[in-house]
Amino acid sequence: MTIEANQIVVWVLVFLRTGAFFLGIPLFAGKMIPVKIRTAFGLLFALLISPLVPADLSIATHFVGAIILSINEICIGLLLAMTVRMTFFAVELAGHLISYEIGLMASNSVNPLLGSTDSTITTLLYYFSLLVFFITGIHYDVLKAFILSFDLLPIGAFFLTVSPTAEFVNEVSNVFIIGTLIAAPFIALNFLINVSFAVLGKAVPKMNVFMTSFSIRILSGLVLLVSSILLISSYIIDSSRRSVEVMLDIIQPG
């Protein structure tokens, strides 16, 4: 069995797109999984799909062309990964909003997946969204869409030709919309509690409204959080499935 130079170049370019993709998708993007394991996973995945990937290496006949193609593949992989992570950015935004509204913004915990310190509610929702993401099998759809990306944008095709900027900006705007929708019940709850205790403070001037409302806000917020698990799950599932479709739409020619 002989391996031609073109096959090696194709495999390297496939690995660059695959490696960049696995650096940005959920679970693999944090510090919990070592870089060596992520690299090995990308190498194995590239080996499996590289024989089936269409490629045009006409520009890679010289050193500069090979570098341009390499940067292009890395950009494509990162673009696809960021599209998948938009749902999790929305969940993190919702976690910060919820923590602020129910008075738990000062309660911080370490998120070992991302290697950062976030509010406890944000970390909890991030873990929950990961759990929903894998239980519903959306990760399989993400991998299928990633493989299909080589048919829509083969090796050697430049992603700038498909003008992904408008679609990507639209997805970024959806992060704020979805995050606000998830946190909307908690914003309404905080408003009702503030109005109720403002009226109560006028009726009972000697009552310590601030301290009482603080405890009521936390208790009511936690009860509402448990009660709205199904609503949050539906937003996560719908947004994740939509991100799979956007993965393919964002690199669709024309």
Instruction: Give the DSSP per-residue string, 147-181.
Output: HHHHHHS-BT--GGGG--HHHHHHHHHHHHHHHHH
* pTM, two decimal places: 0.82
Q: Where are the alpha helices (DSSP H) in the chain?
A: 5-24, 35-49, 63-102, 120-135, 138-152, 165-203, 209-227, 229-249
Cβ-based neighbour number of residue 74 at 10 Å: 17
Helices 63-102, 5-24: axis angle to 10 degrees equals 10
What are the residue ranges spanned by the domains of the chain? 5-249
| Phi, psi torsion values for 162, nearest 5 degrees | -100, 0
Q: Over 60: is that where the pLDDT of 254 sits?
A: no
DSSP 110: E
pLDDT band at 8 (very low <50, low <70, confident <90, very high): confident
Q: Which two tokens stand for residue 184?
A: 């909307």
Q: Which two tokens stand for residue 105?
A: 């913004």
The string of pLDDT tens digits covering residues 57-104 is 777 677 777 788 888 888 888 888 888 888 888 998 888 888 888 877
